[in-house]
Amino acid sequence: MANVAHKTNDPVEVHLSVNTPEFDPGTWIINPPSLQALLNGAVPRAYWKITPGQDDVVEMDAGEKAAVDAAALPDQKTAKIKGFAAETQTFVVVEGYDQTDQTYLTALMADASIQGLANRLAYIQGALAWINAVQATYGAAKAACTAAADKSALDAVTMDLSVHTGTNPNVTTEGALAILD
């Protein structure tokens, strides 16, 4: 049994403990000398490269790693922002305002404004102001992700929605409909 690495694939394609005759030595490096050191050192595969002579797998230098990281950063930002968006939506729903409630409260607010129902309008605005505050926290985290210059800066971005937990006014559509002035 041997370990093999493809000579031209990027990222490096490696198979461990394989039947050597199944791999063409013109295409595969059989038992790359430095592979075990990479595995033992827990070097991420994204930082592996084939040597110019196509006879070994080695760790990239700092400049090459920086180039790999820079290329990956936009996708990492997108993934983190999507995670924050999902977390924000879940938080708003768990706190009591699913999409249907949000839509209905918005319609009730417009109706209260048209009919001059100041107290109903003020009651509903409490929920929408709370939702907007939660969204502002998400917006700040999203902006920080977008501005992150590198992976370590991106990793440092956090979002704490718990600051909004005790401030929810718990507005309900039933409560809004009960206010007639």
Give the tens place of pLDDT for each residue, 61-100.
999 999 999 999 999 999 999 999 999 999 999 998 999 9
Can you tell me which residue has the tokens 């070097």? 43
pLDDT value for 11: 84
Best CA proximity match to 96, nearest among 68, 120, 65, 127: 127
Residues 139/143/148/152 CA torsion (nearest 10 deg): -10
Between CA 30 and CA 46 the distance in angstroms is: 20
Whether the predicted pLDDT of 136 surpasses 90: yes
State the average pLDDT over residues 108-115.
95
Confidence label for 9 from pLDDT (cuts 50, 70 and 90): confident
pLDDT value for 96: 84
Chain mean position to CA 41: 27
Can you tell me which residue has the tokens 């009651």? 123
Other C-beta atoms closer than 10 Å to the C-beta of 152 total 9
pLDDT value for 138: 98
Confidence label for 20 from pLDDT (cuts 50, 70 and 90): confident
Between CA 105 and CA 121 the distance in angstroms is: 10
pLDDT value for 1: 82
